[in-house]
Structure 1
Amino acid sequence: MGRCDRVSNSGDQTRQELEQDVAALRAELARLKDSPRTTRAGAFALEQRLNETQRSLSSVTSQNERLARALRDAREQIVTLKEEVDRLAQPPAGFGTFLQANEDKSVDVLTGGRKLRVNVSPGVDTDAMTRGQEVMLNEALNVVAALDFETVGEVVMFKEMLADGERALVIANADEERVVRVAAPLREITLRAGDSLLLDVKSAYVYERVPKSEVEELVLEEVPDIAYEDIGGLGGQIELIRDAVEMPYLYPDLYKEHALTPPKGVLLYGPPGCGKTLIAKAVAASLAKKVADRTGHEGKSYFLNIKGPELLNKYVGETERHIRLVFQRAREKANGGTPVIVFFDEMDSLFRTRGSGVSSDVENTIVPQLLSEIDGVEGLENVIVIGASNREDMIDPAILRPGRLDVKIKIERPDAEAARDIFSKYLTTQLPLHADDLAEFGNDPERCISAMITATVERMYSQEEENRFLEVTYANGDKEVLYFKDFNSGAMIQNIVDRAKKMAIKDFIEYSQKGLRVAHLMQACGDEFKENEDLPNTTNPDDWARISGKKGERIVFIRTLVNGKQGTEPGRSIDNVSNTGQYL
């Protein structure tokens, strides 16, 4: 800094001397011009000296300006460096959690595990601060800035809100219960049991709800849009479940007058793919509609679809805790008079007969937990439990007794008439139909669709040689031939229609012939039968028969009667089948 000043002073001194020389030369030049004795040569010499002196003056002036600029830049750099040094020399700032403001304009904060009462910088608005908010503290532990809320921490499960509304009871790891403070963002939303919350362990504040709660991972909570009219071939079963579920809910006074207790649960059992899940969804949608018709307000219902196998947990007590949370969620939804369906799909996977486990005895505690939820001390008002299974013989008998799952409805495989009804749900007049098939029925789409359905059902339910499927041998030695119609289901019918539609699309792409034909449905039937001709390779035919819906005399041997897919293979014993297919 001193060197820069010396350079600047030297430049100013040289400039002053040159300016004095210029003034002296100009005066001398003027005197000589006025003097009659001045010679031309002398005047010229003086002008030369004057010009040189002026050039020197200009050069020195430019140099002096450059030096001045360099001096200013050096000063700015020195100031910046000094600020940086001062900033780096400042003591570290601490962070704390705001608890409350006091009347004397001080605030209470939590920092380093200590609760302190500190002052606030004038630039910080304490009125805008909320509990749980993070604040910055200076070396004197005074608040100098208000920050945002914490965004990381441990995940705990919400159990219930305490009476003061400012604290909550949560469950941490290993079922440890803790009382925590509730930060401002969480007070604006409604918390439900089972919600996952973000906990800052240092301040014991919960800040936000984690989007996916533990129960929601296992429960599909929705309001179905499926009506009974969308289900084909199950008119009798639908009537039974409506009597069991809808009547007690819509006419509670009549049930009370007759001292009749509504059923607490319904079991839908039968072979796979026959509409058990569809019926359960339709119950929830129908209840919502009936409530709307009765009250005149928009009806609402909930369908809690429990993903059974995912409830199982290797840790002791976790599965039971999940079941408790599911029913706690259902009770919360039903508090306002809203009907709630708790649907356990594949119920046999969770609630097997106690003592039947080979590698574990988990069912010994899961089954009692469900029983206590259904008919325990806490009632299930407006909550209906619906179970679905294709192995009802494996479910614990205590669950199936009257007073728990009171109503048991068998969903059987569709007969020919039911199959026509199911086909009519998928084959409608809105579909594009082939011109030749339409012309055959006078361009009437309804007649054409009806003929397609009739032809397809006759093909599926005929007892011709090509439809022979299995020969089963019973324990008493009797044999029986089963046809493909004996293993038909709504899912298979839907698959046949989908195959036919894809064939129609391929024909349009390749041959520009648009529309569905009877031939497509016939070919789809054949392809579906061939695809399902290979049974699962099992050494226990009786177990397979139970899943497929064949009950009665014990089956000891199964032999396939269909030809191979190339049409050259003879019938085979089930024990020799190596190419596994799907369960029918």
Structure 2
Amino acid sequence: MSENAPIGTPQESVSAETHRDLQHKYDSTRRRLATLVEDNRKLRADLETASRNNRRMVDILNLTREEIADLKDSIADNAQPPFSFATVLGVHTAREHNPDLELPAVARPSADILYSGRKMRTHISPMLKAETVTAGSEVLLDEGLSIIGVLGTNPTGETGRVKELLDAERLLIVGRSDDEHVVKRAAELHDLRIRVGDAVLVDYRSGYATQMLDVSDVQDVMLEEIPDATFDDIGGLGEQIEQIRDSVELPFLYPQLYQEHHLEAPKGILLYGPPGTGKTLIAKAVAQSLTGRADGVDHSYFLNIKGPELLNKYVGETERHIRTIFSRAREMASDGYPVVIFFDEMESLFRTRGSGTSSDVETTIVPQLLAEIDGVESLQNVIVIGASNREDMIDPAILRPGRLDVKIRVDRPNAAGAKEILKIYLDTQVPIHPDEIVEHGRAQAAIDHMIDQAVEALYSRGEQNQFVEVTYQDGTTNVLYFADFVSGATISNIVDRTKRLAIKDYLEAHAHDVHSAKGVKSSHLLRAIHEEQAQQLDLPDTAAPQQWLRLAGHRGAQAVALRVLQKGQG
């Protein structure tokens, strides 16, 4: 073909056709490439989905494997036989065996146990420490009856009361129906102080006391304490304090002189008199005074018996409480410490037998007390002190010489005694109003003046202090004044009322003037006396005049009528 062939020749047609073929192939290739890219994207997505499914499948397989392992363990545990419970009676450590008497297995660590009512000796698992197995504790046994677990003591069971300490290991226990058992102390009780009357948890099958119990019984009626009251806290009773010191302190201060003269210390003291005169305070001061007075005595005990709570509706319980009280007192006194047993409101317990004024319970309670005081067991270093405001109701056998042989009447304070009591409650430590100090020069002089005013107001025999008029069986009459009914408790109440009035006046004045002064004034004390006297006007029992006068500590002819003199309010 000529080089100079014109356009549109067959050669040009071939080139165009080739171009179209190439273009078609290119387009086809691009479409296939796009399809491949899309397929690749789908494959990647499918791969990621498969990977996620695979990871999820792995997690499910792992969880399934764990569940299978747990199920396998559960099946293995369920196939195990149940553990048995037993109580340890004694523990035996490893030792050399005696070939003539026993096999080597007997000398290995072992324990005597109570299992299903049978006593047997079993081995302690070598995986346990033998010292963790203690007598009285509960243990677990495997199918071979070897000890594989220690549970400690059983927290439930029957209770018992300690009647006697036989030795360091054994106790005499009183259980139900007053039956007695000899038991051993569990390991937990070896270092605890157990006393007669204490409540313990007892496993009667194994014969062990396993736990001390804080059960309210004797502790409810007996307060064991060291009182902080001293004779210096008591005013107006100098003569009575001297009597009780001669009766109580001298035997402890000079025991050799008493022995040389074949003289025994008094077993008991009766403090009697009107209520509120300091009988209980004297008894507490006795226990405190014995501390440190005798050689080697640096401690004393004060057993405060709450009389009415000692009574029990069950036959024999009150007597048991009395035995326990004296047994505990002897236990404390055996160490050389003085012990004071204080029966407050003594007439509530030990009334005259056959008087008909109460139930017949005193017919056994009174002999029980007499047996404890006069019994075979000595009451060395033990002093019995009774307090009563109705000594005429106490059984005469208790008050005879050799029992409560020292009788001290604690009477109402006179004017001088009231002044002593006021000086105890009103001293320079109590805030005194500045006006009183300015008027009298110093605080002590102001206090002395207030006390003199108070005593004059309390003990004056003027018409304004008349209280009651008593008519006797013979027709005679007698007027009693407020001074005839003043007690130490009354004076204490007056002083407390005085202080409250002083505080109230200060708060009212301080609300209007922040610079107001505080302190007790004479007017506060006189006002308190007036209010105390006004309150006492409601106390006389006009329906039973003789009984009310007897309780108030007034003796005399038979009273048949009582009239409150309202003039006492003015």
Q: Which amino acid aligns with 1:364?
A: T
SS of the counterpart of 1:409?
strand
Residue number among 66, 71, 84 corresponding to 1:76 in the alignment: 66
Are the structure 2 counterparts of residues 493 and 122 from structure 1 closer, same or farther at C-alpha, using a change threshold of 3 Å?
Answer: same
Q: Per the alignment, do residues 482 and 76 of structure 1 end up closer, same or farther by CA in structure 2, a change over 3 Å counting?
A: same
Distance (whole Å) between structure 1 residues aligned to residue 471 and residue 116 of structure 2: 78
The amino acid of 2:433's aligned partner reads H
**Separation in structure 2 between the aligned mates of residue 455 and residue 253 of structure 1, nearest angstrom:** 50
Counterpart Cα distance in 1 of 2:47 and 2:501: 100
Question: Judging changes above 3 Å, is the alpha-carbon distance between structure 1 residues 61 and 315 closer, same or farther for their aligned structure 2 residues?
Answer: closer
C-alpha separation in 2, matches of 1:310 and 1:69: 73
Counterpart of 2:307 in structure 1 is: 308
Shifted more, 252-261 versus 493-502: the winner is: 252-261
Distance 1:319 1:68 in 2: 78
Quote how far apart the aligned CAs of 1:60 are: 3.8
TM-score, scaled relative to structure 2: 0.87
1:223-265: per-residue Cα shift (whole Å, max 9, x none)? Answer: 1111111100000000011111111121111112122222111
The aligned residue for residue 99 of structure 1 is 89
Q: Distance in 2 between matches of 1:430 and 1:240?
A: 31
- Aligned CA distance change for structure 1 residues 77 and 274 (closer, same or farther; 3 Å): same
Q: Which residue of 1 aligns with 2:258?
A: 255
Secondary structure in 1 matching 2:292: helix
CA 207–87 in structure 1, closer or farther in 2 if over 3 Å, else same: same
Cα distance in 2, alignment partners of residues 58 and 262 from structure 1:
106
Partner of 1:462: 460
- Deviation, 1:311, is 1.0
1:177 to 177, 180, 187: 180
Q: Distance in 1 between matches of 2:166 and 2:265?
A: 34
Q: Which residue of 2 aligns with 1:10?
A: none
Partners of 1:351 and 1:467 lie apart in 2 by: 38
Matches of residues 22-421 of structure 1 in structure 2 within 5 Å? 45=32, 49=36, 52=39, 55=44, 56-57=46-47, 59-102=49-92, 103-163=107-167, 165-212=168-215, 214-291=217-294, 294-295=295-296, 299-421=298-420
Between the aligned partners of 2:541 and 2:406, the Cα distance in structure 1 is 35
C-alpha contact (below 8 Å) 1:331/1:381 kept by paired residues:
yes
Distance 1:79 1:436, change over 3 A: same
User: 2:341 aligns to what SS in structure 1?
Assistant: strand
Contact 1:195 1:213 in 2 (8 A): no
Q: Following TM superposition, by how much is the alpha carbon of 1:87 offset from its aligned partner in structure 2, in angstroms?
A: 3.2
Matched letter for residue 238 of structure 2: G
Shift of 1:61: 4.3
Q: For 2:199 and 2:283, locate their aligned partners in 1 and report how far apart those are by CA, in whole Å.
A: 29
Q: Distance in 1 between matches of 2:261 and 2:56?
A: 109
Question: Kindly tell me: are residues 104 and 508 of structure 1, through their superposed partners in 2, closer, same or farther at Cα, counting changes over 3 Å?
Answer: same
Cα distance change, pair 486–74 in 1 and its aligned pair in 2 (3 A): same
Correspondence 1:552 to 2:541 = no
Residue number among 522, 525, 529 corresponding to 1:521 in the alignment: 525
One-letter code of the match for 1:492? T
Which of 485, 488, 503 does residue 483 from structure 2 map onto?
A: 485
SS at match of 2:128: coil
2-side partners of 1:536 and 1:123: how far apart?
A: 80
Q: Which residue of 2 aligns with 1:5?
A: none
Moved more, 139-148 or 552-561: 139-148
CA distance in 2, matches of 1:290, 1:313: 38
Q: Who is 2:102 aligned against? A: none
Distance 1:122 1:474, change over 3 A: same
Q: Which amino acid aligns with 1:250?
A: L
Give the Cα–Cα distance (whole angstroms) in 1 for the partners of residues 120 and 421 of structure 2. Answer: 73
Q: By how many angstroms is 1:47 displaced?
A: 8.8
The separation in 2 between residues aligned to 1:517 and 1:457, in whole angstroms, is: 15
What is the total number of aligned residue pairs between the two structures?
524
Q: State the partner residue of 2:536.
A: 532
> Residue in 2 aligned with 1:435?
434
Aligned equivalents of 2:56, 2:371: Cα separation in 1: 93
- Contact preservation (8 Å) 1:169, 1:180: yes
* Range with greater deviation from structure 2 (115-124 or 504-513): 115-124
Deviations 1:285-306 (A, max 9, x none): 1111312xx44xx611111111
What CA distance in whole angstroms lies between the structure 1 residues aligned with 2:558 and 2:116?
A: 72
Cα distance in 1 for residues equivalent to 2:399 and 2:497 = 39
TM-score, scaled relative to structure 1: 0.85
Is residue 119–residue 143 contact of structure 1 (8 Å, CA) maintained in 2? yes
Instruction: Name which of structure 1's ranges 41-50 and 150-159 shifts more when overlaid on structure 2.
Output: 41-50
Larger radius of gyration: 2
The offset of 1:62, in angstroms, is: 4.2
Q: Distance in 2 between the 1:237 and 1:403 partners?
A: 20
**Does the CA-based 8 Å contact 1:354-1:363 persist in structure 2?**
yes
Equivalents in 2 of 1:406, 1:166: separation in Å?
41
| Cα RMSD for the two superposed structures | 2.3
Displacement of 1:315 = 1.3
Q: Distance in 2 between matches of 1:538 and 1:204?
A: 63
Q: CA contact under 8 A between 2:465 and 2:568: conserved in structure 1?
A: no
Q: Which moved more, 1:381-390 or 1:165-174?
A: 165-174
| Deviation sequence 1:318-371 (CA, Å, 0-9, x none) | 111111111111111111211111111111111111101345211111111111
Q: Distance in 2 between matches of 1:58 and 1:43?
A: 27
Query: Cα gap change, 1:381/1:500 in structure 2, threshold over 3 Å: closer, same or farther?
Result: same
1:502 aligns with 2:500: yes
**Aligned residues of 2:183 and 2:209 also touching (Cα < 8 A):** yes
Task: Map Cα deviations across residues 508-567 of structure 1 (whole Å, 9 max, x no partner).
Answer: 1101341100000111011001111013546432111111011121111111112596x7
The whole-number CA distance in structure 2 between the counterparts of 1:89 and 1:202 is 32
Deviates more, 1:88-97 or 1:144-153: 88-97
Helix, strand or coil at the partner of 2:219: coil
- Name the counterpart of 1:14: none
Is contact 2:113-2:120 (8 Å) kept? yes
In structure 2, stretches of 5+ residues that fail to align are: 1-24, 93-106, 511-516
Equivalent AA in structure 1 for residue 440 of structure 2: F
Q: Secondary structure at the match of 2:444?
A: helix
Structure 1 counterpart SS, 2:566: coil
Query: Aligned partner of 1:153: which letter?
Result: G
C-alpha spacing 1:450/1:61, structure 2 compared with 1 (3 Å) = closer
C-alpha change, 1:209 and 1:63, in structure 2 (3 Å) is closer
Q: Following TM superposition, by how much is the alpha carbon of 1:185 offset from its aligned partner in structure 2, in angstroms?
A: 1.1
Change (3 A) 1:64 1:401: closer
Q: Which letter maps to 2:493?
A: N
- State the match for 2:514 in structure 1: none
Deviation at 1:199, TM superposition (A): 1.5
